[in-house]
Homo-oligomer: A and B are copies of this chain.
Amino acid sequence: MKIIDGNAIAESIIEELASEVGQLSDTKPVVAFIRVGDDPASVSYVRKKQKIAERIGIESRLILLPYDVSEKELFAQIDELNMDPVINGILIQAPLPEHINETDTFNRVSPNKDVDGFHTLNIGKLCQEDESGFIACTPAGIVELIKRSNIETQGKHVVVLGRSQIVGKPAALLMVRKALPGNATVTLCHSKTKNLASITSQADVLIAAIGRPNFVTADMVKEGVCVIDVGINRVNDDSRKSGYRLVGDVDFDAVASKASHMTPVPGGVGPMTVAMLMHNTLRAFKAAQIG
């Protein structure tokens, strides 16, 4: 069984991007992060994104808004960034406070600066296989892991567990499109699926994105399956100082005995999302240069 090392692959992408940005003559790409409130996880995520941007040579700007900011004020801030020609990408760190509508907020971002790929227009483009759109970072990261691990997908059966707007559905659409990786027969399963094991055990590639710790067991997969585990779940672990450890949606040790390839958790899909965010930012920059 080969481990698909997300850290190493993300690192390669970051280095490629840094090399490309290093060759840019004068202006550099700029990404703006909007963070609302002080949720500790959000603080940590945004800081990580800023660090990696810095390594690549992408300038980042952090806009901090108070937790009780009105939707109107938030939108005014987004509008300002949309109009600012210096800004190439805009990322609004989720989760947002309950009084702010996430879909409306993501759709407020100019589609051309929507490096998170959450705008309805970019989701539509993904469905239409229009490559001018931005693809959300997690499904884009999954595709990149598969591509750089030379996993064959054409004519293969890809089973996606989970029908979320952010992972399951876009991953399914990407795997079925007329491209490589892609050209796969795709089955989308979810909480209402009956006889789940009989379907997952047909998978040549299994993408698990349901958020249930160790849900996929060895009896649910066939020999030689490639497993992409998108889940990041906390389970209690008294042996750790933190009192918990992170596990995926797949029972790693058990499934490892049958799989050909597997992503670990952590260190699989996770590190790819920031890399793909930077990839999208550089693309937005290049598109803006062309005009």
> How far does the Cβ of A138 sit from chain B's closest Cβ, in whole Å?
15
Give the chain B neighbours of A126 by CB distance below 8 A: 127
Please state if B183 and A192 are interface contacts (CB–CB under 8 Å).
Answer: yes
Q: Is the CB of B199 within 8 A of A128?
A: no
Q: Is the CB of B129 within 8 A of A125?
A: no
**Which B residues are CB-close (under 8 A) to A185?**
187-190, 192-194, 199
Residue of B nearest to A178 (CB): B163
Interface flag for A140 (CB, 8 Å): no
A96-129 vs B, CB cutoff 8 Å, 1 = contact: the mask equals: 0000000100000000000000011111111111
Q: Can you list 28 A-B contacts (CB < 8 A)?
A: A103-B130, A120-B121, A121-B124, A122-B124, A123-B123, A123-B128, A124-B125, A126-B127, A127-B127, A127-B165, A127-B170, A127-B173, A129-B165, A154-B192, A155-B193, A155-B194, A163-B178, A169-B176, A172-B188, A176-B190, A184-B192, A185-B187, A185-B190, A185-B192, A185-B193, A185-B199, A186-B188, A187-B187
Contacts of A127 in B (CB 8 A): 123-124, 126-127, 165, 169-170, 173
Q: Nearest 7 CB-CB pairs, A to B?
A: A124-B124, A120-B124, A123-B124, A187-B187, A185-B193, A155-B194, A183-B192
Number of residues of chain A lying within 8 A (CB) of chain B: 38
Q: Is the CB of A176 within 8 A of B188?
A: yes
When C-beta atoms are compared, the residue in chain B nearest to A129 turns out to be B165
A188 to chain B, nearest CB (A): 5
Which A residues, 167 to 220, have Cβ-Cβ distances below 8 Å to chain B?
Answer: 169-170, 172-173, 176-178, 183-190, 192-194, 199
8 Å CB contacts to B: which residues of A49-102? Answer: none
B163–A169 touching, CB < 8 Å: no
A180 to chain B, nearest CB (A): 10
User: Known interface pairs A176-B163, A183-B192, A187-B187. Does A120 touch B129 (Cβ–Cβ under 8 Å)?
Assistant: no
Chain B, Cβ-Cβ closest to A168: B176
Q: Provide the residues of chain B in CB contact with A156, threshold 8 Å.
A: 194
